[in-house]
Amino acid sequence: MNLEIFGVPGIGEVKAGDDVADLILAALPRPLQDADIVVVTHKIVSKAEGSVLAASTDEARKAIVEAESAGIIRRRGQLIISITRHGFICANAGVDRSNVEPGNVVLLPRDPDASAHRIRHRLERATGTLLGVIITDTFGRPWRRGLTDVAIGISGLPALIDYRGTSDTFGSVLEVTEVAAVDEIAAAADLVMGKATGTPVAVVRGLNLRGEGRAIDLVRPPDEDLFR
């Protein structure tokens, strides 16, 4: 299987009320095809949806982080690891002040799966294709240094690929049971987006995944979680 990933640069600064799908359509370097997966950093979605707040002091930012948190897992210095209102566990409830006008912070989209659905349906209607859409954020990992992009909103895709019962090359049942393919796609797309390069969208071509998962299915339920 071959995979191709290309960035969609030149989208420019996104304002409240902008239509993210229209911005993508105008900036696409080549036409979308069936089964393409359009990966969108949440920041442009949040900005288009108006999920931006003024917060120029550490105090104000901390108040917003706490308001966006349904629970706090750990604190160390300025760092808060919290459960967002959606259920995601991440630093500072996803509240971020990079790539936004100084003095403001960007929140996570209120309902990232719904945002992904809207973008997908507009892109599909405009192009006559069947697509997947992933909305991403950049999360840390408890035991590993460095950040990676993960899926916080999905549409048209399964949250997990279930290999339970699949046999390996020896005919034994696989121990690996569920693969978080949408997180792997988010990570792959980040490789062409970078962090400061003004490329908030990428297209992953060559996978053939269809499903109707929800991003929250990627969150380990508290009773399975040994590390909350």
Tell which residue, 111, 108, 118, 106, has the closest CA to residue 38: 118
Environment class of 191 (CB within 10 Å of its CB; exposed 0-12, middle 13-18, buried 19+): exposed
CA distance 103 to 94: 16
Query: Distance between CA 95 and CA 100 in Å, rounded?
Result: 11
- Give, as ranges, the residues between 10 and 69 that touch a second copy (CB under 8 A): 13
Q: Return the structure tokens found at 53.
A: 């707040």
78 belongs to the binding site for a second copy (CB under 8 A) = no
Residues 184-223 that bind a second copy (CB under 8 A): 184-185, 187-188, 190-192, 194-196, 198-199, 206-207, 217-220
Q: Does 98 bind a second copy (CB under 8 A)?
A: yes
User: Which one among 149, 153, 154, 156 touches a second copy, defined by CB under 8 A?
Assistant: 149
| Of the candidate residues 65, 119, 150, 157, the single one contacting a second copy (CB under 8 A) | 150
Query: Cβ of residue 125: shortest distance to a second copy, in angstroms?
Result: 27
Among 101, 110, 125, 210, binds a second copy (CB under 8 A): 101
Cα–Cα distance, 195 to 190 (Å, whole number): 8
Determine the size of the site formed for a second copy (CB under 8 A).
Answer: 73
**d(C-alpha 157, C-alpha 148), whole Å:** 20
Nearest distance from C-beta of residue 76 to a second copy, angstroms:
6
Query: Is 74 an interacting residue with respect to a second copy (CB under 8 A)?
Result: yes
User: What is the Cα–Cα distance from 211 to 161, expressed in whole angstroms?
Assistant: 10
How far apart are the C-alpha atoms of 19 and 69, rounded to whole Å? 27
Q: Do 68 and 95 meet the contact criterion of CB atoms below 8 Å apart? A: yes
Closest separation between CB of residue 8 and a second copy, Å? 11
Nearer to a second copy, 75 or 110 (CB): 75
Nearest-angstrom CA–CA distance, 221 and 224: 5
User: Using CB under 8 A, which residues numbered 153 to 172 contact a second copy?
Assistant: 159-161, 163, 166-170, 172
Beta carbon nearer to a second copy, 70 or 191 = 191
Residues 112-141 that bind a second copy (CB under 8 A): 138, 141
Cβ proximity to a second copy: between 125 and 220 the closer is 220
